[in-house]
């Protein structure tokens, strides 16, 4: 009998498996797709030689993750590549605000009115960042906070809606960039705890940047899987788990799946009926004939570029997709341009680039034209550079990965109490009604993103149980 079986080889499933194997437990992972990676993978989606990341590409959370930092992933080929600027946010007037490694450079890009307010917001947290990130990514659920005072101060700033936090800024440049940061998790700006989301992305940039994995995000997953195999763990691909009986006998089962799929597979009845999924994404991967022709200078040096003219436009796009059930006319876009730092991703002189906007859950329309109209506003001539594009709306995203229910790439709405208390209000979110069954996906705290911390926290719950029994 195995000690643990993990269902799903996304970053959280692989991290949970590694954490268990490192502690001497026998582990096997079962993955539906033919390759490991889940939301951290790389494929030739358009033309030969163009290596696209269908999901994650920029990794502020991975490079700052206490779980990943404790693993020897560099020995298994993972190299972080840092663009000159972690992120840039261009404006219609041809200028841009930036999220730079340096607080001063970032603050200066907001203009004199908000430079001081930004420094006062982020600077107190930076000296204590490593402890803070460990505390809030573990939450009191799996470990007592090491620095409760800083965590409490962070909570005071971040737990109110981001719209409150943005009142500290008087100019539109800082507000717009910050609204864009919150929109990375598809949360409406007025939602509880969204201030913390924006703050985390900003602090992560100043602490360790927003790097990309050399060769593509698959390198993260491949490093985790290779380390797991060295530790004696097994990975079985092309194995979609439909029932618990499909799996070999084990003392614990750990699910890197949606709560709904977990309930169905493990026969947990209506345990997660109240779990809500959020809006979907519409994603385009581009093969380009040259770099994106940004009108502003800063985005040409950035790994990630946010597109939204001002905070009102961003707020309207989020509301349209999450509350009004329609696709936005001017979608807020997150875009990533990996070949700015990684020449291995495309043939010489060519580039890979992706952009996605938010659409209602399950939306089956085509957002390509709206996305490209937005890009043309900030990068005139963009369309002329397109050699090929691969589009994926909610149905295609859900078909690629069962965790993206209705195209929700966060595997669960980031709204209300579900921002923190997922997949249901509980002090032990990784446990389920079945004592041998656990959940470790991004439907559990600390939520979406490639950081492996849900897998790490869940593994703790699992090994505690394994040691008890």
Ligand X SMILES: Cc1cc2nc3c(=O)[nH]c(=O)nc-3n(C[C@H](O)[C@H](O)[C@H](O)COP(=O)(O)OP(=O)(O)OC[C@H]3O[C@@H](n4cnc5c(N)ncnc54)[C@H](O)[C@@H]3O)c2cc1C
Measured distance CA(173)–CA(264) in Å, rounded: 46
- Tell me the closest approach of the beta carbon of residue 23 to ligand X, in angstroms: 20
Q: Does 38 bind ligand X (CB under 6 A)?
A: yes
- Tell me the closest approach of the beta carbon of residue 80 to ligand X, in angstroms: 13
User: By CB under 6 A, which span of 33-41, 309-317, 373-381, 413-421 interacts with ligand X?
Assistant: 33-41
Measured distance CA(223)–CA(462) in Å, rounded: 23
Q: Does 39 bind ligand X (CB under 6 A)?
A: yes
User: By CB under 6 A, which span of 146-154, 308-316, 442-450, 461-469 interacts with ligand X?
Assistant: 442-450
Given the complex with ligand X, which of 121 and 414 has the nearer CB atom? Answer: 414
Reduced to 3 states (helix: H, G, I; strand: E, B; else coil), residue 386 is strand
- In the region spanning residues 353 to 412, those forming contacts with ligand X, defined by CB under 6 A, are 356, 397, 401-404, 409
User: By CB under 6 A, which span of 187-195, 200-208, 417-425, 447-455 interacts with ligand X?
Assistant: 447-455
Given the complex with ligand X, which of 5 and 157 has the nearer CB atom? Answer: 5
What mask of x and - would describe binding to ligand X in positions 58 to 97, judged by CB under 6 A? xx-x------------------------------------
Q: Where are the beta strands (DSSP E) in 234-371?
A: 234-236, 250-255, 280-288, 302-307, 333-336, 351-359
SS (H, E, C) 19-72: HHHHCCCCEEEECCCCCCCCCCCCECCCCCCCCECCCCCCCHHHHHCHHHHCCC
- Tell me the closest approach of the beta carbon of residue 232 to ligand X, in angstroms: 21
Q: Are strands 302-307 and 85-90 parallel, antiparallel or unpaired?
A: parallel
User: By CB under 6 A, which span of 3-11, 63-71, 75-83, 121-129 interacts with ligand X?
Assistant: 3-11
Residue with tokens 């959940």: 439
Task: State residue 431 phi and psi, 5-degree precision.
Answer: -85, 160
Measured distance CA(27)–CA(220) in Å, rounded: 19
Tell me the site size for ligand X, rule CB under 6 A: 40
- In the region spanning residues 283 to 342, those forming contacts with ligand X, defined by CB under 6 A, are 283
Q: Does 161 bind ligand X (CB under 6 A)?
A: no
- Tell me the closest approach of the beta carbon of residue 408 to ligand X, in angstroms: 9
- Tell me the closest approach of the beta carbon of residue 31 to ligand X, in angstroms: 5
Using alpha carbons, select from 359, 69, 86 the residue that is nearest to residue 220.
Answer: 69
Q: Are strands 302-307 and 280-288 parallel, antiparallel or unpaired?
A: unpaired
Length of the chain: 469
Q: What order of strands is seen across the sheet that includes strand 250-255?
A: 234-236, 27-30, 2-7, 250-255, 437-439
Given the complex with ligand X, which of 59 and 173 has the nearer CB atom? Answer: 59
Given the complex with ligand X, which of 32 and 312 has the nearer CB atom? Answer: 32
Binding stretches for ligand X (CB under 6 A): 7-13, 30-33, 38-40, 55-59, 61, 240-241, 256-257, 261, 281, 283, 356, 397, 401-404, 409, 441-442, 448-450, 454
């Amino acid at each position: 009998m195995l000690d643990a079986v993990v269902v799903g080889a996304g970053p959280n499933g692989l991290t949970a498996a590694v954490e268990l194997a490192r502690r001497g437990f026998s582990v096997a992972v079962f993955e539906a797709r033919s390759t490991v990676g889940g939301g951290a993978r790389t494929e030739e989606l358009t033309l030969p030689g163009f290596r696209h990341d269908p999901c994650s590409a920029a990794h502020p959370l991975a490079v700052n993750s206490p779980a990943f930092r404790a693993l020897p992933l560099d020995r298994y080929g993972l190299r972080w590549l840092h663009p000159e600027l972690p992120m840039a946010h261009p404006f219609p007037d041809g200028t841009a605000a930036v999220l730079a490694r340096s607080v001063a450079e970032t603050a200066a890009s907001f203009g004199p009115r908000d430079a001081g307010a930004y420094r006062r917001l982020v600077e107190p947290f930076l000296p204590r960042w490593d402890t803070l990130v460990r505390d809030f990514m573990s939450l009191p659920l799996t470990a007592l906070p090491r620095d409760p005072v800083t965590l409490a101060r962070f909570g005071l700033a971040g737990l109110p809606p981001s719209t409150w936090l943005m009142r500290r800024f008087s100019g539109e440049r800082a507000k717009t960039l910050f609204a864009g940061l919150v929109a990375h998790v598809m949360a409406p700006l007025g939602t509880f705890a969204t201030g913390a989301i924006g703050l985390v992305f900003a602090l992560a940039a100043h602490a360790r940047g927003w790097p990309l994995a050399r060769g593509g995000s698959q390198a993260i997953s491949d490093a985790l899987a290779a380390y797991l195999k060295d530790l004696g763990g097994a990975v079985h691909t092309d194995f979609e788990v439909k029932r618990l009986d499909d799996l070999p006998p084990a003392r614990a089962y750990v699910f890197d799946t949606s709560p709904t799929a977990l309930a169905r597979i493990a026969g947990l009845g209506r345990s997660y009926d109240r779990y809500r999924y959020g809006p979907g994404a519409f994603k385009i991967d581009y093969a380009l004939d040259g770099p994106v022709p940004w009108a502003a200078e800063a985005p040409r040096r950035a790994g990630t570029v946010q597109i939204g003219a001002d905070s009102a436009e961003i707020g309207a796009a989020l509301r349209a997709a999450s509350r009004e059930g329609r696709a936005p006319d001017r979608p807020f876009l997150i875009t990533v341009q990996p070949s700015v730092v990684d020449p291995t991703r495309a043939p010489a002189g060519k580039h890979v680039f992706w952009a996605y906007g938010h659409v209602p859950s399950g939306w089956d329309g085509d957002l390509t034209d709206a996305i490209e109209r937005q890009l043309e506003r900030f990068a005139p001539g963009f369309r002329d550079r397109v050699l090929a594009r691969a589009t994926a709306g909610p149905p295609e995203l859900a078909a690629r990965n069962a965790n993206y229910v209705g195209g929700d790439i966060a595997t669960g709405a980031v709204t209300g109490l579900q921002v923190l208390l997922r997949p249901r209000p509980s002090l032990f979110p990784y446990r389920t009604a079945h004592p041998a069954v656990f959940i470790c996906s991004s439907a559990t705290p600390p939520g979406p993103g490639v950081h492996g911390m849900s897998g790490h926290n869940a593994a703790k719950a699992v090994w505690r149980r394994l040691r008890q029994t």
